[in-house]
Structures are given as C-alpha cells and as structure tokens.
Amino acid sequence: MPRLRRPEFVPKWPSLEFESRLWGLGLTHVAGVDEVGRGALAGPVYVGAVILPVNDAVSEELSGVRDSKMMLPEEREFWVPIIQETAIAYGLGWASCKEIDRWGIAPATRMAAKRALNSLSIRPEHVLLDYISLSRVDLPQTSMAAGDALCLSVAAASVLAKVARDAKLCELDSRFPKYGFASHKGYYTDDHVRAIKKHGPCTQHRRSFAPVRKQ
C-alpha cells in the first residue's frame, strides 16, 4: 500500500488531485476515509467514508469543505446534507469505548473504518486514508499524512464523522450530565478531568487511557 509523507506545505483547502489520478486510471469508485475521536477520553471513535462522483465540478459544489477540525460547528452542520447529496455513496462506522479498551485504539479505529466501508452502498475500487492503514481490508489503498487537508473525499468523510460523533456525545451528555460531554465532546480538558476525579469514570469513559485509568 502506498504511504505518502506529510507535505512540507499543507494547503488550506483540499483538492481532487488524488481522486483525479485514480479516475484517470479508470477507477470510478474512490472512497475517502477519515476518523474522528481517536484521542478522546470518552465515547466511541467514528469513521466516515465518502465516494464522490467522477466530476471535477465537485470541487465547486463542495467548496466550503475541508479538514473538519478547521471548520466551525455551524459550517460542518451546513455542509453535511450537501456532502450526502453530492456523494454517490457515503457511510459511517464506529467502535465503542468498550471495544477501544478491549482491543486498543488503533485496532478499534481500523474496525470502525472497516464498518464504514461495509456500510457503503457501492464497493470502492480504491481507498484514500488519513494516516491509518487497513491491512485486513482487501481493497487497494493509499494512506497519507494530512489526508483530510489534501483530499476532498477524505475531508468530506471527516466532516460526516465529526458531526455524527458530536451528536452522539451530546446524546451521552443527557445521559451522563456530570461530565460536560456536550461541550468538550469527550476530549481532554481540565474541566473534564476534574469531573472524572470528582465523580469517577462512567461507562462511556475509556478506562485504558491513562488520564482515566489514573483517577
């Protein structure tokens, strides 16, 4: 599987450069894949998968889509239905905090990615990934650093995954209101760690992660 290093210059906006190369080889179903929540202390890890149509005009149709971390929440919410309407297929997969604790975050992330790919209505002919590699997925792959900044399909996948995971953490906040999940989305913050120290971890915390395990 090709692995591409992080470029010296990371563009502000992703492009269809990598997708276009594969389209030029006759591959019409290229899936971009990205994960969200890998470094959080609580909640599942989510992975999005998006197959864009073979059409250079997609860059204009998704002109506001980029690495989800660089977008405001309202921007991500705005673009989700547009991504879904533009894509010829999209899907989500996730792994629970229990699966993360049992298998480790890297295997659980790969598990979530496989689930996202399996949820697609179209089987991809090639997969573009941000950092991770999927050794147990029998599909041609290209893994790269900063994929969500470089590839439009990967960026679109990151937006779908981010919005879905944020919604899940807001749901968990209503079930576990002592921890502030709706504000920090399960990530490490001083308030989050203080809440864990005060109340102890809940069933949605990753007990294998040191900041939780040490409390």
Q: What is the DSSP string of 108-169?
A: HHHHHHHHHHHT-SS--SEEEEES---TTS-S-EEEETTHHHHBHHHHHHHHHHHHHHHHHH
Flag whether 168 is in a domain: yes
Residues of the chain with pLDDT under 50: none
pLDDT of residue 30: 98
Flag whether 5 is in a domain: no
Q: Which two tokens stand for residue 132?
A: 């991770």
pLDDT of residue 3: 58
Flag whether 92 is in a domain: yes
Q: CA–CA separation, 78 vs 103, rounded Å?
A: 35
Flag whether 37 is in a domain: yes
Indicate the average pLDDT of the chain: 94
pLDDT of residue 133: 87
How many structural domains are present in the chain?
Answer: 1
Q: CA–CA separation, 51 vs 162, rounded Å?
A: 17
pLDDT of residue 8: 61
Q: Identify the CATH number of the domain in which residue 193 sits.
A: 3.30.420.10
Flag whether 112 is in a domain: yes
pLDDT of residue 11: 79
Q: What domain range includes position 148?
A: 10-213
pLDDT of residue 136: 84
Task: Report the percentage of the chain scoring pLDDT > 70.
Answer: 96
Neighbours of 132 (CB within 10 A): 18
pLDDT of residue 22: 97
Task: Report the percentage of the chain scoring pLDDT > 90.
Answer: 88
Q: Which two tokens stand for residue 145?
A: 């650093």
Q: Which residues have a Cβ under 8 Å from the Cβ of 197 and sit 6 or more positions away?
A: 215
Neighbours of 11 (CB within 10 A): 12
Q: Which residues have a Cβ under 8 Å from the Cβ of 212 and sit 6 or more positions away?
A: 41, 42, 196, 201, 205, 206
Least Cα distance to 108 among 208, 5, 213 occurs for 208
SS3 92: strand
Q: CA–CA separation, 155 vs 34, rounded Å?
A: 7
pLDDT of residue 131: 84
SS3 78: helix
pTM for the model: 0.94
Q: Which two tokens stand for residue 116?
A: 């996202």
